[in-house]
A and B are shown apart, each in its own frame.
Chain A
Amino acid sequence: MRVGCSLILLCLVLAGCSGGGNEYAGELISDSNPQQPGTTLPGGNGASACSAELERFNAELWAPVLAPSCMQCHQTGGIAAESGLVLKPASVSSYLADNLSAVNTYIASEAGLANIEAKPLAQVVHGGGRVFAAGSAAHQALQGWLAGPVASCSDGDGSDGSVSLSAFWDEAVLLDNNATLRKSALLFAGRLPTTAEQASIADGTEISLRNAIRHLMSGEHFSDFLMESANDRLLTNKFANSRTPGLELLYEGGRFTFIESRLAPLQQAVNSAATDEQRQAANEAFGFAWENTNKAVATAPLQLINYVVTHDRPYSEVLTATYMMVNPFSNDVYHTGVSFADNNNPDDWRPAQIIDGYAGGPLPQAGLLSSQMFLARYPSTDTNRNRARARWAYYFFLNVDIEGLALRSMDPADLADTNNPTLNNPACAVCHEIMDPVAGAFQNYGDNGHYRDAWDGDDSLPDTYKAGSLYQQGDLWYRDMRAPGFAGTALPATSRDNSLQWLAQQMVADERFASGTVAFWWPAVFGSELLPQPTEPSDVDYADKLARYSEQQRMVGELATAFRSGGYQLKDLLADMAMSPVFRALQAPASTNYGDMGAGQLLTAEQLSRKIQALSGGLWHHTWDENYDLLARDYYGLYGGIDSDTVVQRAQSLNTLMYAVTGRMSQEMVCQRVVAEFELPKAQRTLFTLVEMTDTPANASAQVQAQVNRLIEVIWGDPLTDLALEQNSAYTLFNEVWSERMANAPSDWLYHNDTSDDQQDEFCLLDWDNDAALKQDPNHTLRSWMALLTYLFSDFTVPYE
């Protein structure tokens, strides 16, 4: 029985479980902790009595009861922050030890033992009402934990909650340093590592590897990575198309007074065109301007993230920036006063402020929070009152899922309460205590995101509310809701005009901003979402899920701590993430299930397109248009892409259609790639740097084998099987194709159309008008290399990393 031990244990647990503890295998890397390439992480982090106690607390009380049912209110900033039980979120690295001690302290307090059971059942007064029913799984778990044994931590091993969980990665085999650098380069830079980068990690230390990864983060493809990943969360690219154009949202109310400054003259030119030719030219000019203007307006929030990160500014600026991003097209809409050398260059992005471009006066900017597209993507209504915006702001930037708080089933009577329940009903206040003040901080923004969009420009309150008895002249917010604020701090009167700027400062000062950033970028780096808190101990895989969840949360905490202490440099965070076993684990002991963590993440359509270009030296494009990215267009949806509107989640696993896309790619693109390569001198090629087209298995087998080996190294990286066997098999394929062609090929032309037998056909788009272009393959090596490329590019290692 727990009761008698509680006070004693409290001291012991605090003493034993709050120290520094052993380093876990996946900790942030340092000079003192180098990992040898491809080595197995050591095991032997056995659970001490103390860690066993923490494990039991985690499995039996924290995960099934406290985290899902109590945590939301009983934490700093929560509705029960002043109660006798204040818990810490999982993003705090010592949360388990801290929360165990908090619970023990509570139990030891007067009536604590009775109340810890009676309050959630609402058998005594409880601000949160009934949290679970008597006899429910949560209740049984609580009773079970209370009745369970208590281990002593008096062995004083100096360990904390991280010790037992560190064993999660015991005996993991990680990608070696070269493979990790390759994977990082493809993900962050859309290319393979350079020779210099490979040389920079030759010492085999982790610190060299981390530095090399950190320096991958620049260039166009890094920006692509940033903006694609950010959009996968924010989904603001919903407006970057002609069906739901973001530009259209800005016309409402006529508040952006310069919105037509570029487009109106172009439209006038269309209207006044005297000939069909003039009209066509004018239409094209208008279309170009409209498309670029819309895209500029729509992608501005993503461009802000890109600007902050690529300019090595503190990531907190994505919320606190007092500027927005414009290019020449959106600059004309917002009339910011920024000038551009080329007024038609859509790639020239600059920070800017709207001073006289808005009818209501200068617009106070607060990074993403005040972005027109962010606000429009998460619109409000007269009754929603910015709560959706608060919900998403918490979710995206603090990793707090307010909707997740409503996971527990609710009493129908609570849901039917009509006495301003969000303010008065404890069951509703669970969420609204947190959400509504932040909703109030969005007070200056109307339903579609315009600043003070009331007819007189004084506020953004709906007429229906202002016509009622509660409204008073000069109000900006509802009097029947909680006052604007954040986590218990009220919005100062001096910030009422720029409340989002105040909110942004509050949010980035909150310790959850760092863990929220880790959570935001977790799927981008690791290719899977953070696991939700397991809440059902009866699930057959509960123990597995809990172990993975706990380890993830611990890692989030560690990553967040480093991110915070490093001055919020996102590149550092991304590099730390790439160093972790979640990015690198290749093999695991049979006893451990890493779930969706480790190597083997499925690339997105965009990432696969970049990888193919990196590996082959060219884009997989439409036959008739070399700039037409097939993966970004024809096959984008089939390959699991999103439209940021109706389809908002990428495919997480390869299906047959996606497999077929890679199959077609491997056949359709190889002829042009091989021809293009062999038309260049060896030194200028990407792939075929070791052979000429006259080198055959008969006259240059060593060169051919070396070239085969190089192709495997470039295209596959680690073959995941025996390398020598794969090299031999690939050479055999080449030789078989070559030999068969030497004996039976119907011609030595690279394009062959056999009118009597389609099966002899071989398509290849050739430059017939260019005498110097390759058109024939007299040694039958080019076609053999094409066959080998088809084999290599259709391999398992290509769509996964």
Chain B
Amino acid sequence: MNNAMNRRHFLQLLVASGLAAGLPLPLRAQAVDSNFTPYNGPFFVSIEAGGGWDVTSFCDPKANPAINHWASTQGVQTISGSSVTYAPFAHNQRFFSNLHPHMLVVNGIDAQTNAHQAGQRYSWSGRLAEGYPSFAALAAAVYGSGLPLAYLSNGGYNQTAGVINYTLMQDPSALNKLVYQDQFLDGGNGWDAAKYFHRQSTRDIINRHRAERLARLQAAQPHMASRMQAALNQFAAAKDGQQLLELLAQYVPQTLVDYTDADGYWNPLLRQAQIALAAYQSGLCVSTDLVAWGFDTHANHDADHAAALMRLQNGVEYLWAEAGRLGIDDKLVVMISSDFARTPGYNDGNGKDHWPISSTIFMSKNASWANRSVGLTTAAHEAQAINPQTLAADSNGILLQPKHIQQAMRQLAGIADHELSARFPLNAETISLFG
């Protein structure tokens, strides 16, 4: 993983892409003057299906009418040339048909719990107990230290364990006023208003004194208690990053995608994806968590869960389509998962309750490890042990758990051996998920 793009290389890329010419003069000047190194490595996207998803109606299909009502009329769907299978449910046919070349489905993951918070924590940090950062936080800390938006969160499992800050930016409509914070921007069209709140010479004096003041604070920092020290570090880092926000402003679209998706659902996942891609394009963002809700269907499962899955699928499809339109789909590394899964069978209210055996989907464009489904469950949707190397059923093998998935993700991202990862060991056997 190479994050060491230098300034010259960055400007060359800007020129090559035609972006430099499109930058306003001050920004171009700043790009030349700055030592900023934009991030252009893989963009790590964690997508949470909040509440516990029903993988037997998704990527680990069980064609048993007692488990899934759809099985009384239809069977498991297959894809030619792929081991990926899916249930005839929600938008699965469209979703898997279009995206399976980029997809590694891992089934039979034992979350070891049926409590939401514990399941969410285990799925996204790799540890059932408290205290570990999400993968997105860890990746951002490794690759994006110093970037102002290294970790863009949308309210998923965003524990950072202090390795990085996250940023919430669901509504960037006021972004311009923050990027150009010294300018009056409420004049509207047609009024040639005074542009700045303070003239340049005044701003220069203020900024010099601010820098001197911060230096005095930092000199006093060793005497402060830990919380104040941490706060001052955050303040200084945030200050350092603000000039870079101009880059973000170049990429956040003037028109944001609607909150209502093609099925008519209120679906913030689309806008989360759009803003995340803009943040990545700006070179300021390494990772993000996107969140889809509505999967905890203890009642009226078929209708409600199908709706939740369709929202998720609309969002994931939008992410890939928009990334493709922007020419950065080859940068996406996506992980989709949930707290755990749902029971292989219906309760009295036609709902499905909590079930620990779940699945995860990894995605990367045409990856060599993609277009596969691995991990095994029984017809009753119980996890089966697998050989960690061959991934075949092996009674002496290993039951997959979220810690294995997170360990694999760390390895895929090239951060498994980083000292930050070493601070949060997963103690998980290596599984050859990616060949």
Contacts and interface: CB of A to CB of B under 8 A. Distances in A.
Contacts, number: 296
B199 A760 contact: yes
B225 A585 contact: yes
B84 interface: no
Contacts of A663: 178, 181, 242
B228 A634 contact: no
Contacts of A799: 235
A763 B195 contact: yes
Contacts of B232: 600, 796
B209 A539 contact: no
B356 A415 contact: yes
A381 B181 contact: no
A243 B167 CA distance: 24
A614 B141 CA distance: 37
Interface string A769-801: 000000000000001001100110011100110
B386 to A, nearest CB: 15
Contact of B223 (A587, A741, A796): A587
B114 A736 contact: no
Given A638-B169, A740-B202, A796 B193 contact: no
Contacts of B231: 600, 602, 653-654, 796, 800
6 contacts: A383-B298, A412-B382, A598-B225, A655-B149, A763-B196, A796-B217
Interface in A448-496: 462, 464-465, 468
Contact of A753 (B112, B129, B186, B192): B192
Given A381-B351, A761-B195, A172 B225 contact: yes
A229 B46 CA distance: 30
B186 A624 contact: yes
Nearest to A640: B168
B342 to A, nearest CB: 11
Interface in A714-739: 720-722, 725-726, 729-730, 732-733, 736-737
B130 interface: yes
A125 interface: no
Contacts of A794: 210
Interface of A: 172, 243, 381-384, 403-404, 406-410, 412, 415-416, 431, 447, 462, 464-465, 468, 532, 534-536, 538-540, 545, 585-588, 593-602, 622-624, 634-635, 637-638, 640, 646-649, 651, 653-661, 663-664, 667-668, 670-671, 720-722, 725-726, 729-730, 732-733, 736-737, 740-741, 744-746, 751-755, 758-764, 783, 786-787, 790-791, 794-796, 799-800
A321 B169 CA distance: 40
Given A412-B357, A721-B216, A646 B291 contact: yes
Interface string B308-350: 0000000000000000000000000000000000000001110
The 7 closest A-B pairs by CB, nearest first: A382-B349, A656-B148, A659-B238, A600-B228, A406-B115, A660-B178, A381-B298
B268 A646 contact: yes
A408 B401 CA distance: 14
Q: Taking each of A415, A601, A647, which has the highest tally of chain B beta carbons within 10 Å of its own beta carbon?
A: A415
Given A655-B234, A657-B178, A787-B205, 12 more contacts: A382-B347, A406-B113, A408-B128, A415-B355, A431-B115, A532-B131, A602-B231, A655-B167, A656-B149, A656-B238, A736-B205, A763-B197
B168 A638 contact: yes
A732 B353 CA distance: 67
Contacts of B118: 403-404, 406-407
A403 B115 contact: yes
Interface residues of B, number: 95
B9 interface: no
B299 A795 contact: no
A729 B209 contact: yes
Interface in B75-103: none
A410 B119 CA distance: 12
A336 to B, nearest CB: 32
B168 A656 contact: no
Given A464-B348, A664-B181, A763-B195, A536 B238 contact: no
A783 B196 CA distance: 13
B113 A383 contact: no
Given A667-B181, A791-B209, A539 B167 contact: no
B177 interface: yes
B298 A382 contact: yes
Contacts of B173: 634
B234 to A, nearest CB: 5
B348 A382 contact: yes
Contacts of A536: 127, 129, 131
